[in-house]
Amino acid sequence: MRRAVFLDRDGVLNEVVLVNGKPHPPASVEGVKVLPGVVDAVATLRREGFCLVVVTNQPDVARGTTPRAAVDAINDHLRGLLRLDGVETCFHDDADGCGCRKPAPGLLLQSAARLKIDLSRSYMVGDRWRDIAAGRRANCRSILIGSGYGETFRDMPDASCESLWVATQWILSREGSAHAGVG
């Protein structure tokens, strides 16, 4: 069974668009700005043998404010740029009550089954309470990137880091890697 790092997309890999202090995804591939250190972080995690899977909620599709094709194009762009092993997307809104929308663990569980991932040896990295809760419910260690936008957290992260690069160093230190701190 493989180890994985599950990555939220917006706010972890790429910049969010803040509207009244609330994070929103970019509207198109042209609006995607990969955050500093992300390319090096994912390359380091890959070199250390981690499977890399994006797990992202994209409810604007269900809300009718973003076309699915735009979300798919952004996902495809990031998959190619970062050489990701997978991208799992929930297109539902809270009212749909699906098992894949974070904080439910469905996206992580689907990936684990498909890619033969040991969730107990894996990590969930996100920038919102939903990411941390989904990681906990899937039996992964959870890492918060940034401040959490002032949201209330019922499930506390195992670590809080300022960036994916810092989170990568924390993961490698937990795994006893000789590469922890390199970069």
> In percent, how much of the chain has pLDDT > 90?
91
Q: Is the pLDDT of residue 9 over 90?
A: yes
| Confidence bin at 178 (pLDDT 50/70/90) | low
| Confidence bin at 40 (pLDDT 50/70/90) | very high
Report if residue 130 sits inside a domain. yes
How confident is the prediction for the chain on average, in pLDDT? 95
| Confidence bin at 176 (pLDDT 50/70/90) | confident
- 138-151 confidence digits (pLDDT tens): 999 999 999 999 99
pTM of the model: 0.95
State the pLDDT at residue 183.
47
State the total domains in the chain: 1
For the stretch 62-99, what's the b/e string if a residue is b when 16 or more beta carbons lie within 10 angstroms of its beta carbon? beeebeeebbeebbebbeeebebbbbbbbbbbeeeeee
Report if residue 135 sits inside a domain. yes
Report if residue 183 sits inside a domain. no
Report if residue 134 sits inside a domain. yes
Report if residue 70 sits inside a domain. yes
Q: Which amino acid is at 89?
A: T
Give the span between the Cα atoms of 82 and 47, in whole angstroms.
Answer: 13
CATH of the domain at 18: 3.40.50.1000
DSSP E strands: which ranges in the chain? 4-7, 17-19, 22-24, 51-57, 86-90, 123-126, 141-145, 159-161
Report if residue 181 sits inside a domain. no
Task: Provide the residue range defining the domain that includes 16.
Answer: 4-175
Q: Is the pLDDT of residue 133 over 80?
A: yes
Q: Is the pLDDT of residue 27 over 90?
A: yes
Q: Is the pLDDT of residue 177 over 80?
A: no
The count of other CB atoms within 10 Å of the CB of residue 100 is 20
Burial label for 178, CB within 10 Å (0-12, 13-18, 19+), is exposed
Residue 83 dihedral angles phi and psi, to the nearest 5°: 55, 50
Report if residue 15 sits inside a domain. yes
Q: Is the pLDDT of residue 180 over 80?
A: no
Report if residue 182 sits inside a domain. no
Give the span between the Cα atoms of 40 and 35, in whole angstroms.
Answer: 11
| Confidence bin at 161 (pLDDT 50/70/90) | very high
Catalytic residues: 8, 10
